[in-house]
Amino acid sequence: MLADTYYLNNGYPMPKVGLGVYKITEEEMEKAVNAALESGYRAFDTAYFYKNEIALGNALKKADIPRSDLFITSKIWNDYQGYDKTIEFFTKSIENLGTDYLDLFLIHWPCEADNLFIETYKAMEKLYKEGRIRAIGVCNFKQHHLETLMAETEITPAVNQIEVHPYFSQHELQAYCDDNDIAVTAWMPLMRNQGLLDHPVITDIANRYGKTPAQVVLRWHLAHNRLIIPKSKTPERIKENYDIFDFTLELRDIAEIDNLNRNDRQSKDPDKVRIGDLK
């Protein structure tokens, strides 16, 4: 339905809420995927680096959902950037997942100092033109990375997947992406909790709406036109994270959450990530 679908800059539909499967093991995957599918999810976000593409592919195959109803995202890891390696590891990813195409393929980190992300993206453009990927994009790109990329390639990224949460709202980067029709996907949308969901502003709003703090934060992301991929392996939490389409936040509540921003990045600064890092 329209409420839970975002149309990317090439017109391709992407669910607004997907399940992030980072750190979900092979033993845990089937239970998590089944809980997600039963709750309404159809988008699943993995990466070669997560070492669970095979487990995700097997779980989806067992669930017997038509491939056309699913939206599968994977990413090219830093160590495999470059034109030829991108094609090689894209092929490995789709073999792992048991599919002949990806809905979305992303560069995991810019690794700008290694000067390879342009060639990586050009390989992705080739795969996109061949129909093997429905949309291409990036992760963890700052504005200057995007400017460099778009100056030297043909296709504007459909998605920039970045760390965003109420303590690190990245308003300027969000505005730049909005202006250039690049959808922002929030990874770590709940800041892995880290105390965020106990903040009195969040809990007070949650009490007023009869929702959980996590649901309020996720709805805040949607209010800012973001896509979200909350990660969980717990069936109850997976269901809770999807059950957010029956309410909207008032503007004053959105503004209250906006005011929590501390520019508090939890992950690595993308300018400092190089090939070989983040093992």
Start-to-end C-alpha separation, the chain: 39
Tell me the one-letter amino acid at 80.
Y
User: Do 47 and 80 form a contact (C-beta atoms < 8 A)?
Assistant: no
* Token pair listed for 201: 């502003």
Name the nearest CA neighbour of 97 among 120, 115, 77, 75. Answer: 75
Residue type, 208: R
Reduced to 3 states, what is the DSSP secondary structure of residue 5? strand
According to DSSP, residue 245 is labeled S
**Catalytic residue from among 6, 41, 48, 50:** 50
CA 205 – CA 254 distance, rounded (Å): 10
* Cα dist from 162 to 22, 69, 189, whole Å: 14, 25, 9
3-state class percentages of the chain: helix first, strand second, coil last, to nearest 5 = 45, 15, 40
Burial of 100: CB neighbours in 10 Å, binned 0-12, 13-18, 19+: exposed
Cα radius of gyration rounded to whole Å, the chain: 18
| Alpha helices for the chain (secondary structure H) | 26-39, 53-63, 83-97, 117-129, 143-152, 171-179, 200-209, 213-223, 235-242, 251-258
Q: Is 209 one of the annotated active-site residues of the chain?
A: no
Type of residue numbered 2: L
Just list the catalytic residues.
50
